Amino acid sequence: MQCDFIDLANDGVQGLSPYQPGKPIEELERELGLKDVVKLASNENPLGVSPLALKAYQQVGNKLHLYPDASGYELKRCLAESLEVEPEQITLGNGSNDILDLLARVFLDADSAGLYSQHGFVVYPIAIQAQGAQAIVVPARDWGHDLEAMAAAITDKTRLVFIANPNNPTGTWLKKAELEAFLKKVPETVVVVLDEAYFEYVGEGEYPDGVTLLQDFANLVVTRTFSKAYGLAGLRIGYSISHPQIADLLNRIRAPFNVNLPALAAAQAAYNDVDFLRRSLKTNQAGLKQLAAGFAELGLDFIPSVGNFIAVEMPVGNDPAGAMSYYNALLKKGVITRPVGVYQMPNHLRISVGLEQENQRCLQALKEVLAELGSGGSA
């Protein structure tokens, strides 16, 4: 018998399943011979790329033989100035995912634990378990983080807490006062990662800006990304703001050139493209309203969201496949949504906000599949 390499992996990795991305448009078009596929599955920016970012990207085309600036000096300086922090507090990552992973590698090992909420972003359990660390999952309350229960669940072994605000895939969010009350309860030896991937989208008055909390809570790490509101998901760039010592630790283990040259150039241009950001937020606000109204009209329950997506509950009746029957029926109509069974939400689909006509296509397709499957069961 040949060696079973799975057996050789660390225990945490043996128990992992790979991250399941949204289905690519090209794949569905190939499989079903469809055209005009609408993808509302990965919370991408439906406006596309900022024209200024695209220009910056194209302008570095003749420099691709060069390594990027490994320190990300210019982008860090630009972010630091705008966020009113020191450049030493900023860490750049190959997507903010990279930083979540680096944090787990810095602070977790087989003797420690990482904590997150039920329905929390699926990258957290992967990052924790890959270190062979214990994963503490705290039951959600009304689909959102139950911060009191999370504080109570912290043990001597807990080194890292992950909180997404707003959370993906639920779209739920935490108010400043509740977050502060939580941070006051957390021992300063426990690092709290506040994942603000959708920060720019949130217009609520009581929504906290994590960066302003850093002065009071040195154990806080705020992560943000260029993948969502800034429209650069394909380039892979995100960042964290933290205590300089935490940034120092992340810097020790990151890959030397973890952020590529076009990403550095395009991110800085996107960050300064105020008009594109404004249009992105406006499109998203309108789309959230359009989808919410459409779901209500179809009699579908959904979780109110402040992100660029909504989790909608499908009437699955006794169908053991849950929302998967609807997911598949929608695919046949050329609409890609995101099943969230891996988030313990087997009856929901997460639908990203698209352009007005894309949202309309999705609502029309939902109406049709509800008529086909809606009496509570499989077709």
* Tokens 């128990």 -> residue: 15
> From the CB of 100, what's the least distance to ligand PLP, in Å?
7
Task: Tell me if 192 sits within 8 A of 163, measured CB to CB.
Answer: yes
3-state class of 124 per DSSP?
A: helix
**CA atoms in the 13 A half-sphere facing the CB of 314:** 39
**CA atoms in the 13 A half-sphere facing the CB of 98:** 25
Nearer to ligand PLP, 183 or 229 (CB): 229
Chain Cα centroid distance, residue 119: 12
Which residues are paired to 336 by β-bridges? 39
> From the CB of 156, what's the least distance to ligand PLP, in Å?
28
Nearer to ligand PLP, 121 or 182 (CB): 121
Nearer to ligand PLP, 30 or 257 (CB): 257
Residues that bind ligand PLP (CB under 6 A): 43, 95-97, 121, 164, 168, 195, 197, 225, 227-228, 233, 238
Nearer to ligand PLP, 197 or 314 (CB): 197
> From the CB of 228, what's the least distance to ligand PLP, in Å?
6
> Which tokens go with 55?
């220009």
> From the CB of 237, what's the least distance to ligand PLP, in Å?
7
Residue nearest to ligand PLP (CB): 95
Task: Tell me if 365 sits within 8 A of 333, measured CB to CB.
Answer: yes
Q: Residue 352 belongs to what H/E stretch?
A: strand 348-352
> From the CB of 43, what's the least distance to ligand PLP, in Å?
6
Other CB atoms within a 10 A radius of the CB of residue 207 amount to 18
Nearer to ligand PLP, 92 or 108 (CB): 92
CA distance 257 to 347: 41
> From the CB of 97, what's the least distance to ligand PLP, in Å?
3
* Tokens 């939580």 -> residue: 182
Nearer to ligand PLP, 109 or 204 (CB): 204
CA dihedral for 230, 356, 304, 138, sign (positive or negative): negative
